[in-house]
Amino acid sequence: MCRRPGVLPLVSLLCFLSPAWIHASGDRIELELWCDLDPIVEEGPGKDVGPLDPAEAVTRLLEEARTILSGMVYGYTFAYTPSDESRRVAESFELHTRAEIPWGDPALRVADTRLEGDRLHVLIRFSLTPEQQAWREAWQSGVVPRSSGNGSGNVFLGYRERGTALTNAVKESIRNHLRPRVPNKPREVVGEALLWDVAGTYIEAGEYHTRIVTRLRVGTVTPYRVY
């Protein structure tokens, strides 16, 4: 069995993303997630060869759900510096969850499981408190813009690259929002993002690809000074 997760960096936490679908309605969010019991890339201590234990797979999927829901319920803060070759500035992107759904939260539960070949599908339900529901509804306002993004990660580096794909998708959604609104590359952009929807993750050409929709509140856009 996997150990119960502690507080880890975002990219480490977001390591099991592979949703078949996510549906949010009123006071409930449903996620159907999948996990390969015979993965292409072996992981873990010693990289033991053999199928993944179903109980461990369910633990991974519950952690995946906890991570996705934390982004959907509480959202993130971000700081983004675009790359600028003329100024010799490298791209920088920091993404942090505002709060997390705690491990073992009774509102998070497995509703159903099914096996298709070597792939385990798990239906997970999360019941929102009135406060959590109100927080998401506040982001649903028409004055809070939506943006979409696609992100990728290397399949052959292991399942943690699914987290890389999600992080890159959030970054891409921020870039897509800023591009038509900020004509000159800024020195830094800080703000908040809420993971509104995850369209899915698929494998193509040796990469995980994740498609998402976010809602964004851009705070401060810091330009470069001109001397």
What 3-state class would DSSP assign to 97? strand
Q: Is the pLDDT of residue 164 over 80?
A: yes
Site of tokens 């193509």: 204
Question: How many CA atoms lie less than 13 Å away from 48 in the CB half-sphere?
Answer: 6
pTM: 0.83
Confidence band of 130 (pLDDT split at 50, 70, 90): very high
Q: What is the pLDDT, as a whole number, of residue 20?
A: 57
Angle, helices 54-73 vs 130-139, to 10°: value is 60
> What angle is formed at CA 46 by the lines to CA 41 and CA 52, rounded to 5 degrees?
50
Q: For the residues of 168-194, what is the DSSP string, one character each?
A: HHHHHHHHHHHTTT--SPPSEEEEEEE
Residues in contact with 136: Cβ distance below 8 Å, sequence separation at least 6, in sequence order? 24, 72, 73, 128, 194
Q: Which of 136, 188, 144, 196 has its CA nearest to residue 170?
A: 196
Q: Is the pLDDT of residue 187 over 90?
A: yes
The mean pLDDT of 118-133, rounded to a whole number, is: 94
95, β-bridge pairs: 78
Q: Is the pLDDT of residue 15 over 70?
A: no
Q: Which of 188, 193, 195, 189 has its CA nearest to residue 217?
A: 193
Q: What is the pLDDT, as a whole number, of residue 6?
A: 37
* Predicted confidence (pLDDT) per residue in 20-54, tens digit: 577 777 799 998 988 888 876 655 544 445 688 99
